[in-house]
Chain A
């Protein structure tokens, strides 16, 4: 019975809340609707050593979505401390560039993509923040407007997630659709076990999403691998599946990660998941877990351990930070 309810719920959500970016080609109309609602929108590009791709992202978004169609009110690069020329390149093409460590400097220093995303909530001014990874080779304005559009057209939508599903040839045959290796091997099975409705999100780990500030400021941020997973669980727990939408942005060309790197990612994600499962009371009385991941390498006949200390630190909801409440005049 419950299965049918979930199935129907997912089916309804897929038909009503899943978009293709081409539905939002009319940028002029989108800008008009944005202005009617008096919304401000910020684009955040979190970076760590992305000098090869950041310039292209900045120049394209700036030209198309600020100058030609004023959809974005600011484009900000929040950098983890790149030792290449990421910040210089981004600034030369006209982005506002921030070092994550210099935002809210009185807080303890932490380093990770989630940290950059979290600090962007304080630093940027938008009512909507759209996050786009900085390593996308085939960047296009759709990576931002495809995610912003459902928030502009549907006030009840709070969080829009990207997915990428461009088949090389379309026929009437059924074809599989889904995420990458970590999604299909780890996240979707976990969601199926504990949050079956969230399986409707085709690529839960995609790094591109647009979110309303009032939602962002109320959720905690793991600073490492787990930020996307925790967002989904937290927003779902608070607002339900209908707060989400997802947009197909066609193909995304980016660096491929090795299986070992994905192993480390999965390790971090599992920690986040267990933490959420514990706090929501889904899993009870679980022993403390280890934070060292062991992978192995061999030299001649000597098998060697390679240890990675991976601990998913978490930032509290931004609304709990006093400086934030002052800056945005949030009443306590």
Chain B
């Protein structure tokens, strides 16, 4: 199924072509691995993605994409033109990683693995987006719709999806579907976003040593009290709800009382009411502990997501499942709090896909398997072709 002009092919033809496509992609595997190395070795902590995004847009310019540029919030965007320019598919990967500039970003390439900080989340996702124009050129495929390829900035943590939200708020191109690409895990098929509220509780105690409070004047003890209160919050089984205590910091050494401590958390629920209710309870007990201890405690909520998304039976989710099954990839339906949420807010049908299998995600020894990358890319291209062919539109059903 090779064509230099866009042609109509049936969804079954796309499915039949997938094994051949996967074999072809192995021939150009070096493209994505090279992009992964070069992108992944450029540090890109949230709010400081400029160099990584510049590399991405250089790649887009080199292959001749139109409108390869960066915008006000630093997103890198390139458009692979289709034959009919009245419709667009947005393929996005977040460009930021949780690792600071000071971390050694060297990736090591072994026969089966690639290792290094951020390799899965999300250097590989971004490398997939960077490689798509070369891959389509190699496969000699022209699409009908435009493919908007994007490295989104300010996605993680306090970034709160600012990059993608900015783009969706300000661009004038009609977008019929969104695909969010993550390096791992292959098989991931997220079509709904759960309600989420992300924040940080910081505690500061006065510098002066207070003998009257000997033994208990510590920001760590206060944060501990906060954690006890969080654990006392009853969580319902339905709607499914959880509180993730993601990271804790406090103090400096063995024998100095900790004057600062912080706790980072995320509240997740299928119900936005439940998220809000837990958020209110946190505000209340933070105020209560603060007045009881005299410590300064701040609750900073800096990211929110509304639950939503497309249905399990939506053609985009269903056709992607068929593609995965054809490739012997077991779809794992997991809700997402990532880029998907920004699409949902704009009522754009969207899913999140993973490219390969990885371990130790967000750790310094993060690693991915090389071989499944080709299957992951095949799944991505198959899904793009299905969207391009109109098989993922609701009107078709």
A positions within 8 Å CB-CB of B: 51-53, 55-56, 59-60, 62-64, 67-68, 85, 88-89, 92-94, 137-140, 253
25 contacts between A and B (CB under 8 A): A52-B108, A53-B108, A55-B110, A55-B111, A56-B108, A56-B109, A59-B37, A59-B109, A60-B38, A62-B30, A62-B34, A63-B33, A64-B34, A68-B62, A68-B134, A85-B111, A89-B110, A89-B111, A92-B111, A93-B30, A94-B30, A137-B108, A138-B41, A140-B38, A253-B106
Closest B-chain residue to A94, C-beta based? B30
B residues in contact with A89, CB < 8 Å? 110-111
Closest B-chain residue to A54, C-beta based? B109
User: How long is the Cα–Cα vector from A67 to B41 in the complex, in angstroms?
Assistant: 21
B residues 27-45 touching A (CB-CB < 8 Å): 28, 30-31, 33-35, 37-38, 41
Q: Does B107 contact A (CB under 8 A)?
A: yes
Which 7 A-B residue pairings sit nearest by Cβ, starting from the closest?
A63-B34, A56-B109, A63-B30, A55-B109, A59-B33, A137-B106, A59-B30
Complex contact A67–B31 (CB within 8 A): yes
B residues 93-139 touching A (CB-CB < 8 Å): 106-111, 134
Complex contact A52–B37 (CB within 8 A): no
Complex contact B30–A52 (CB within 8 A): no
B positions within 8 Å CB-CB of A: 28, 30-31, 33-35, 37-38, 41, 62, 106-111, 134
User: With A52-B110, A92-B111, A138-B106 as given contacts, are A60 and B37 in contact (CB-CB < 8 Å)?
Assistant: yes
A residues in contact with B62, CB < 8 Å? 68
> B99: shortest Cβ distance to chain A, in Å?
16
A residues in contact with B33, CB < 8 Å? 59-60, 63
> A145: shortest Cβ distance to chain B, in Å?
14
Closest B-chain residue to A60, C-beta based? B34
User: How long is the Cα–Cα vector from A94 to B106 in the complex, in angstroms?
Assistant: 22
> A53: shortest Cβ distance to chain B, in Å?
7
A residues in contact with B37, CB < 8 Å? 56, 59-60, 139
User: How long is the Cα–Cα vector from A174 to B30 in the complex, in angstroms?
Assistant: 42
User: How long is the Cα–Cα vector from A139 to B108 in the complex, in angstroms?
Assistant: 10
User: How long is the Cα–Cα vector from A88 to B111 in the complex, in angstroms?
Assistant: 9
B residues in contact with A253, CB < 8 Å? 106
B residues in contact with A68, CB < 8 Å? 31, 62, 134
Closest B-chain residue to A138, C-beta based? B106
> A97: shortest Cβ distance to chain B, in Å?
13
> A136: shortest Cβ distance to chain B, in Å?
10
Known: A56-B108, A59-B109, A60-B37. 16 other contacts (CB 8 A): A52-B110, A53-B108, A55-B111, A59-B33, A59-B34, A60-B34, A62-B30, A63-B30, A63-B33, A63-B34, A63-B35, A88-B111, A92-B111, A93-B30, A94-B30, A137-B106
User: How long is the Cα–Cα vector from A80 to B109 in the complex, in angstroms?
Assistant: 21
> B19: shortest Cβ distance to chain A, in Å?
22
Closest B-chain residue to A27, C-beta based? B62
B residues in contact with A56, CB < 8 Å? 37, 107-109
User: How long is the Cα–Cα vector from A182 to B203 in the complex, in angstroms?
Assistant: 53
User: How long is the Cα–Cα vector from A63 to B62 in the complex, in angstroms?
Assistant: 14
User: How long is the Cα–Cα vector from A94 to B111 in the complex, in angstroms?
Assistant: 12
Closest A-chain residue to B59, C-beta based? A68
User: How long is the Cα–Cα vector from A138 to B106 in the complex, in angstroms?
Assistant: 6
User: How long is the Cα–Cα vector from A92 to B371 in the complex, in angstroms?
Assistant: 12
User: How long is the Cα–Cα vector from A93 to B29 in the complex, in angstroms?
Assistant: 9
User: How long is the Cα–Cα vector from A139 to B37 in the complex, in angstroms?
Assistant: 9
User: How long is the Cα–Cα vector from A67 to B37 in the complex, in angstroms?
Assistant: 16
> A86: shortest Cβ distance to chain B, in Å?
11
User: How long is the Cα–Cα vector from A62 to B37 in the complex, in angstroms?
Assistant: 13
User: How long is the Cα–Cα vector from A139 to B107 in the complex, in angstroms?
Assistant: 10
Complex contact A67–B30 (CB within 8 A): yes
Among B34, B38, B41: residue with most chain A CB under 10 A? B34
Closest B-chain residue to A89, C-beta based? B111
User: How long is the Cα–Cα vector from A53 to B108 in the complex, in angstroms?
Assistant: 7
A residues in contact with B107, CB < 8 Å? 56
> B357: shortest Cβ distance to chain A, in Å?
19
B residues in contact with A137, CB < 8 Å? 106, 108
B residues in contact with A140, CB < 8 Å? 38
> A60: shortest Cβ distance to chain B, in Å?
5
Closest B-chain residue to A66, C-beta based? B30
> B374: shortest Cβ distance to chain A, in Å?
14
> B91: shortest Cβ distance to chain A, in Å?
21
User: How long is the Cα–Cα vector from A264 to B34 in the complex, in angstroms?
Assistant: 37
> A27: shortest Cβ distance to chain B, in Å?
9
Closest A-chain residue to B107, C-beta based? A56
Among A68, A88, A89, A92: residue with most chain B CB under 10 A? A68
User: How long is the Cα–Cα vector from A92 to B112 in the complex, in angstroms?
Assistant: 10
User: How long is the Cα–Cα vector from A158 to B217 in the complex, in angstroms?
Assistant: 72
Closest A-chain residue to B111, C-beta based? A89
User: How long is the Cα–Cα vector from A243 to B35 in the complex, in angstroms?
Assistant: 35
User: How long is the Cα–Cα vector from A253 to B116 in the complex, in angstroms?
Assistant: 15
> A137: shortest Cβ distance to chain B, in Å?
5
Closest A-chain residue to B108, C-beta based? A52
User: How long is the Cα–Cα vector from A60 to B40 in the complex, in angstroms?
Assistant: 13
A residues in contact with B134, CB < 8 Å? 68
User: How long is the Cα–Cα vector from A94 to B34 in the complex, in angstroms?
Assistant: 13
> B72: shortest Cβ distance to chain A, in Å?
26
> B34: shortest Cβ distance to chain A, in Å?
3
B residues in contact with A59, CB < 8 Å? 30, 33-34, 37, 109
> B27: shortest Cβ distance to chain A, in Å?
10
User: How long is the Cα–Cα vector from A85 to B110 in the complex, in angstroms?
Assistant: 10
Closest A-chain residue to B106, C-beta based? A137
User: How long is the Cα–Cα vector from A151 to B58 in the complex, in angstroms?
Assistant: 26
Closest A-chain residue to B105, C-beta based? A138
> B104: shortest Cβ distance to chain A, in Å?
8
User: How long is the Cα–Cα vector from A227 to B110 in the complex, in angstroms?
Assistant: 30
User: How long is the Cα–Cα vector from A89 to B30 in the complex, in angstroms?
Assistant: 14
> B1: shortest Cβ distance to chain A, in Å?
23
> A222: shortest Cβ distance to chain B, in Å?
31
> A207: shortest Cβ distance to chain B, in Å?
18
> B76: shortest Cβ distance to chain A, in Å?
18
A residues in contact with B41, CB < 8 Å? 138
B residues in contact with A88, CB < 8 Å? 111
A residues in contact with B28, CB < 8 Å? 67
User: How long is the Cα–Cα vector from A60 to B107 in the complex, in angstroms?
Assistant: 12
A residues in contact with B30, CB < 8 Å? 59, 62-63, 67, 93-94
> B237: shortest Cβ distance to chain A, in Å?
48
